Structure formats: structure tokens, C-alpha cells
Structure 1
Amino acid sequence: MYATERHQHIADTIDRVGRVSVAGLARDFGVTTETIRRDLDALEQVGRLRRVHGGAVPAGQSTAAESSLDERLDRNAAQKEAIARAAFALIPPTFRGSLLLDSGSTTGRLAELLITWSPDQPGAGVDVATNSIPLAARLHAAANPHLQLRSLGGAVRGITGAAVGPTTIAQLSDIRPDLAFVGANGVSAEFGFSTPDETEASAKAAMVHAARRVVVLADSSKLDAESLVRFACLDEVDTLITDAPPGPELREALADADVQVVLA
């Protein structure tokens, strides 16, 4: 295969999958890793991709890039709905205890399902805490008598509607929820769980440390991706709910960290 053909195949794969690895491309093409690195360098120079450790990602993908909550609502909607339903299955009518909901589009879908929750016995209920102003408003408006809402305060980030900062972290340090559902922008074998903004990373880290059980909700576009700030190592999370099997390296790292992977 000529270099131009490899370049086109690599660019098409980046557009379709969102990431390529040097080792994987060398194996697929039957060439050396040095040849693939030269291919990636050439494609980066013309703006077709961006080099990262071990491979490449789309040119517009930056560890600091962040979309607004509204922009993310319809992105990978079917996958996020499936993930939310798998998460909701962890809160059966027999559940007794407290929940913590992170800000985000997938946790937002979980909140919509939570509105319908009812216990198997009269008088029972669930305590729900969240740092998301939009989710708190939605849960409050639903007026489900079985849900006791706890809205965490702090400085509100306009792009996500999440309360962050010292006030939020102090409140999180004073609670011990049974189950936390946390979103992530990146899930990496080497870097762990990450997000673009430092203040949100601090809030997510506080959630991870506060909860008895931590469940990360991340669609497959977040797998093998890294954002700017790590909020948890793999071994600090109990369960990852996603919509597609992780790649070999991430799968092995999750298994070594004893993270349960649930496919929605």
C-alpha cells in the first residue's frame, strides 16, 4: 500500500473511530511503527489529526476543549440513554439509602429516569444530592414525594451548570452517599478518569472520595481519551457503565484496578 493510501485510511479511521494507535496501525498495515509515526507526523502537519502518546486523535480534539451542556444533550443520545437505564437498574424499588448525581448530559438522563422512581414499601424514599443546578431544578419541579432533594451550593459554572469550588467541596466532605454517579470526559489506562476543567475535577474528586460506591457513566467516545485534569485513578472507581467494550489496553487496566465494567 502506498503512503498516500495509508494516509487516507488513517484519516478515515480517525474520523470514524476518534483515535488510532501506532501499534495497531503498524499491525494492520504490516509496516514498522517508525513508518506509522512518519505517516502521523505528515498528517499532523496538514492539520488532519493531532499526535498524542501512542497514536493520534482528531485535530480539533484538545484536552482542554469542553462543550456546553446544551451542545452535549443530543450527542450520542442513544448510547447515553442506554447507559442511564443501566445505571437506573442499580436503584431498584428495594433500594434504601442516598444518591449523589454529578452534573452532565448522561447523569441528566439518569435524573429523568429517577423522577419515576418509587419504593416497594410505603413511606420509603431516597435522599438525592447533586451539584447540578439544572438537575436540581428538574428534580424539584417533578415533586416526586419519594425523593428527598439536596442541592449542593457553590460557584456555578455557566458552561455546565455545575456548582464548584470550596463551598461545594466542603459540603461534599460532610456527606457519605451510598452511591455516586459521576460523569467523565476521558477514561484512560494511563491517566484514569479526567475532565477539562480544574474546578469540576476537584468537585468530581470530592464526590469519588465521599461516596461508598462510585459509578462512572461514560459513553464509548470517552474511552481511551484523556482530558486536561484527572479527578480519579482507575482503582478509585467501583463501576464503569459504557456502551461498548473497552480496547485491550484499557480493558486490562480496568481489570487490574478491579473496576466492574457494565455494557449498556
Structure 2
Amino acid sequence: MIMEKASATGRGPARERHQQLADWLRADGRVEVVQAAARLGVAPETVRRDLRAMEQHGRLVRVHGGAVPVQPAPATQLSGRPGPRYTGFGRRLWQQLPRQGTLLIGTGAPALGLAEAIAADPPESDGLTVVTNFLDAAIVLSRSRSPRSANLRVYNIGGTVSPHSGGQEGDWAISELNRLRTDISVVCAAGVSSTDGLTDHSPAGAAVSRAETLVGRRVIAIADASAAGKSAFVQFASIDEIDELAFAGEVDDQQLRPFRERGLPLMVAPEDD
């Protein structure tokens, strides 16, 4: 009863447990109920109750057996703009991509920065097809006000829209992706590790990213700088399965070294330039 009272007032053991769970979540990308209970010396039901409380405050997302971090909200809400980091990143990446062929864009804030860059500066001539499972990216591309916007053909994959990432997932999305063969697939990862490869916070998101990886003749992995050296919940590709890697934001040289040692082409775009 004393512990419950402390929890209700936001002080005491419950608050300390919440902070410890949050620390583990940041460090490991996932918290397992059974393991956390053993480390904290409490019953698994206590950890489940803590995770429910933390989810109600927007600090995590519960999944089977534990919890994963809340994914960053899409950089725009259908009509807004990406933040400066992703705008500059998107422009840098777009400068390196061909203006013809088929380009697949995955889900995530860096991907939205790329979509914004394409919409602002479409190809000079007809011939580029962009397909995406990211509803926000499809809308940004289709609303391009450039006089050259007619040179873009935009396809939206369809599927169940994730309330966490804004990406379209599920059987419908994967079935449609499996029919495609794209010149370039740009996949967005929540974690990028030289040992664990590319990872996502959810099985559904990872399944779509896996399909996007397999259909691309050339695969470019993109991620926020905070994902460097980290591993999320579910792997969808190994480092050997991608052709290039690009980070939005500053990344420490030590974190980049394992990728350079493998001969992987890298692009690191700091804040907007």
C-alpha cells in the first residue's frame, strides 16, 4: 500500500523504476518485462503496470513482452514542412540521385526531407517515377507547386496506416511491394549497426522495410544521426544488403568507422546548409 501511494504522488520507487526503464529503453531500444522485473527485483506485473503508466504519458509504446521507444512523429502533418536538419539532408541526397527511372521512398523523417526536396526541385524532363508507403511523402510530392511537377509520377503503395510512424504497413502494402522492381530503394532505419544491420521498432514496419530492400536494384539506407550504432527491435536488412548509407545530422567518427572499414559509401549531412 505504501508503494501504491508513492506511485500515485509521482515520487518514490515507482518514479525511480520509470526512470530506470526509460534509461534501459534509450540504451537498448527495447525493454523486456521478465528481464526488467529481474533486474529491478519486482514482480513482472509491477513492470507491466509501470509500462502502462509510461505509455499513457507518451514515453513508450507497449508491444508483446515489453515496450519499445516512441517513434518520432512524422516531420510534417500532411501539410507542414520537415525540420531544418531533414530539409538540408533531403537536398543533399536528392543532388546525388538520378532524375529518371524508379525511386522508392520508405517511411521516416529523413525520407520526408527527401520528398520535400524532390517536390521543390522536380526533374527538368519527364521520366521519374516515385513510389512510397509513406502517406505524408506521397502528399508532399503530389502537391508540388513547381512548374516541372508534371515530370513526376507519384504512386502510393496503400495499406494500413501506422499511428506511430505514418507508414503504410500490413499484407496489402507488402503484396504491392513484392510486385515492384525499382532502380533505387531508399529505406529508413530506426537503428543502424555494423553488427545488427538495419532495424526497426516494430515487426510490421520491419516487414515493409524488408520488402522495400528486396525490390531495389540499388539500396540506400537513411537514418537520423541518433540511430548510428544503435539497434532497434527487429532487423530487416544486413549491412551487406545495402549499397550506400546516409545520416541526417552530425555523427561521431568513431560510430562511422565500422561502416568505412567495410567500404560502404557514406553521406553525413549536418544541420541545414
State the TM-score, normalizing by the size of structure 1. 0.69
State the TM-score, normalizing by the size of structure 2. 0.67
Which amino acid counterpart does residue 117 of structure 2 have in structure 1? Answer: L
Determine the structure 2 residue equivalent to 1:233. Answer: 238
CA distance in 1, matches of 2:261, 2:110: 26
CA distance in 2, matches of 1:110, 1:71: 11
Runs of 4+ in 1 over 6 A off after TM superposition: 43-46, 59-63, 71-74
Q: Which runs of 5+ in 2 are unaligned?
A: 1-15, 32-58, 62-66
C-alpha RMSD of matched pairs (Å): 3.1
Kept in 2, the 8 Å contact 1:101–1:129? The answer is yes
Residue deviations 1:104-126, cap 9 Å, x none? 111111111111333344xx231
Aligned 1:126-165 pairs, distance under 5 A: 126-142=128-144, 144-165=149-170
CA distance in 2, matches of 1:96, 1:172: 20
Determine the structure 1 residue equivalent to 2:266. Answer: 261
Aligned 1:16-165 pairs, distance under 5 A: 47=20, 50=23, 64-70=68-74, 77-91=83-97, 95-121=99-125, 124-142=126-144, 144-165=149-170
User: Which segment is superposed worse, 195-204 or 133-142?
Assistant: 133-142
Superposed displacement of residue 225, structure 1: 1.4
Residue deviations 1:48-87, cap 9 Å, x none? 97469xx889x9789711235247889x933322321221
Which amino acid counterpart does residue 220 of structure 2 have in structure 1? Answer: V
Determine the structure 2 residue equivalent to 1:202. Answer: 207
Kept in 1, the 8 Å contact 2:199–2:234? The answer is yes
- The alignment of Structure 1 onto Structure 2 pairs a total of residues equal to 213
Summarize the Cα distance change of 1:163–1:48 in structure 2 as closer, same or farther, 3 Å threshold. Answer: closer
CA distance in 1, matches of 2:180, 2:19: 51
Q: Quote the sequence identity (%).
A: 23
Instruction: Please give the secondary structure, in 1, of the residue aligned with 2:230.
Output: coil
